[in-house]
Amino acid sequence: MARAIEMLANLLAVTVLCICVHNTFQLVPLPDFIHPCGELTDECFTQATLDAIPGVVRGIPEAGIPSLDPLYLDRNITMNLPGNVKMTFHNGKLSGLRTCVPDKVSSHREKRTFIFDIHCNFTIKGHYSILGRILLFSLDTEGSAKIKIWNQHIRLEVLEKVVKDKNGEGHYKINSYKYKADYGTDLKLNLTNLFRGSPQISANILDVLNSNSQLVAAEFGGPILDYAIDYAMNVTQRFFSTYTYDQISKVPLTEEFFEDD
Ligand SMILES: *[C@@H]1O[C@H](CO)[C@@H](O)[C@H](O)[C@H]1NC(C)=O
Ligand SMILES: *[C@@H]1O[C@H](CO)[C@@H](O)[C@H](O)[C@H]1NC(C)=O
Ligand SMILES: *[C@@H]1O[C@H](CO)[C@@H](O)[C@H](O)[C@H]1NC(C)=O
Ligand SMILES: *[C@@H]1O[C@H](CO)[C@@H](O)[C@H](O)[C@H]1NC(C)=O
Q: pLDDT, tens digit, for every residue of 33-48? A: 999 999 999 999 999 9
> Among residues 110, 96, 118, 122, which one has the least CA distance to residue 179?
118
Q: Indicate whether residue 50 lines ligand 2 (CB < 6 A).
A: no
The torsion angles phi and psi of 219, rounded to 5 degrees, stand at -75, -40
Which residue puts its alpha carbon closest to atom 6 of ligand 3? Answer: 192
**pLDDT digits 0-9 by tens, 207-247:** 888 888 777 788 778 889 999 999 999 999 999 999 999 99
Q: How many CB atoms lie within 10 A of CB 240?
A: 20
**pTM, 2 dp:** 0.85
Name the closest-CA residue to atom 14, ligand 1.
76
Cα–Cα distance, 25 to 150 (Å, whole number):
44
Domains and CATH numbers, the chain: 2-257 (3.15.10.30)
Q: Is the CB of 129 under 6 A from ligand 1?
A: yes
| Most ligand 1 atoms within 8 A of CB, residue of 79, 90, 91, 128 to mutate | 90
**pLDDT value for 158:** 98
How many angstroms separate the alpha carbon of residue 148 from the centre of ligand 4?
A: 25
Ligand 3 atom closest to Cα of residue 203: 13
Which residues lie with the beta carbon below 6 Å from any ligand 3 atom? 190, 192, 206
Q: What pLDDT does 18 receive?
A: 46
Q: Concatenate the DSSP letters of all residues of 181-231 into one string.
A: EE--SEEEEEETTSSTT-HHHHHHHHHHHHHTHHHHIIIIIHHHHHHHHHH
Cα of 76 to ligand 1 centre, how many Å? 6
> In this predicted structure, what is the pLDDT of residue 154?
96
Q: Which residue has its alpha carbon closest to ligand 1 atom 13? A: 75
Strand boundaries in the chain, DSSP class E? 71-72, 77-81, 84-95, 101-108, 113-134, 137-164, 170-182, 186-191, 258-259
